[in-house]
Amino acid sequence: MRVSLTRACRFYTSPITPKPSFFSPRAILNQPFSSSSSSSSHSSTPKPKTPLFLKPPKYSATLSDLKKWHNWAKALASSVRSTFADSDNGPDSSILFRELNWLVEDSLEDPSLIPQLGFQNNSQSVRLRIGLDELYGLWKQRIEKRKPFQYLVGCEHWRDLVLSVEEGVFIPRPETELMVDLVSDVLVRDNDGLRDGFWVDLGTGSGAIAIGIARVLGSKGSIIAVDLNPLAAAVAAFNAQRYGLQDIIEIRQGSWFGKLKDVEGKLSGVVSNPPYIPSDDISGLQAEVGKHEPRLALDGGVDGLDYLLHLCNGTASMLKPGGFFAFETNGEKQCKFLKNYLENDSACSFCNVSIVSDFAGIQRFVTGFRQ
């Protein structure tokens, strides 16, 4: 979790520009989602929304009418110029233009028709996944309310995944992709010693980290993904099943270690991207983040360390000897504090505690092993 919205290959990226990715796994996702999932069913469980690109193309419009909307939307984006960027490091017009093109791609049944938007008075009818009136409304929300683009289209591209997200669920960030690489590196060094056991992703959100790790573990391991937010738990279950990982990932709704008594002392690994923004900093965040993403996923208390310290204190009793942990932080100051805490104030519970930098060279992760 970070203070600005970023996008690995499609969406608004600031301030970190991560490695580009051009692989689109949407073909994997074009299977229906059933009511069964890796979480236990309950009548009050929220039902995740369908991402725009997976909706059936039940609307139609002429290319002329679509071009009229596109010209209006482009003019609205152009009027922003650098206003958002100057205000809170938000997107400028050039970024909004790219988002507009992606919105058209997701809306059209046949994106190959996009070049024809340049022709005047084209009466050809095209199939859309969303009505023109709703397209006008969505783009007004993007510009006037600064609603995150990921919430408009209902998905986020992360690593080689396309994950469902919606308002009320934290949007995964590119730098968090490194969490999966850290686990993968440990598994390579440790062979099957840690691969065969239980792993836990605490505060899973959309399930991004859990899904990434599950694909690394393969059929040998299993991962429990925990989130307090019932909508996030439902979305995580949706995403896990979309990738056929419902037998490897178990979704549990609850608070941190409270739902893990049955695996205490047995875990091969604990990973988490917890809330770590100091409370007083929330109001100064980019509008897309501070006004729209769930505060529950952002606010880490007075100094941002409340949940990070809770993770440190609880992980010692959860990991088996030699078990691995990795936590994402707000940066250098939190990393150094946690490293010192784990090495000196945790009753010698951990060893090989390290700080790992993100794509931009910012100290971002704290990792280590249970003694």
**Which residue type sits at 261?**
K
Q: Is 26 left (phi over 0), alpha (psi -120 to 50) or beta?
A: alpha
H helices of 108-225, where?
Answer: 132-144, 149-153, 177-190, 208-217
Catalytic residues: 170, 273-274
What stretch of H or E contains 97? helix 93-107
Structure tokens at 232: 């996030």
List b or e across 53-87, with b for residues whose CB sees 16 or more CB atoms inside 10 angstroms. bbbeeebebebeebbebbeebbebbeebeeebbee
User: Order of strands across the sheet with 249-253?
Assistant: 249-253, 222-227, 198-202, 267-272, 319-328, 363-370, 350-357
Residues 6 or more apart whose CB falls under 8 angstroms from that of 9 comprise 20, 21, 22, 157
Question: Are residues 324 and 183 in contact, defined by beta-carbon separation less than 8 angstroms?
Answer: yes
Contact residues for 2 (Cβ-Cβ < 8 A; gap 6+): 16, 173, 175
User: What CA–CA distances, in Å, run from 209 to 65, 130, 173, 212, 340?
Assistant: 41, 30, 10, 5, 26
d(CA 31, CA 171): 23
Secondary structure of 77-91 in HEC code, one letter for each residue: HHHHCCHHHHHHCCC
Burial class (CB in 10 A: 0-12, 13-18, 19+), 36: exposed
Q: Residue 7, by phi and psi: left (phi above 0), alpha (psi -120 to 50) or beta?
A: beta
Residue 223's Cβ-side half-sphere holds a number of Cα atoms within 13 Å equal to 34
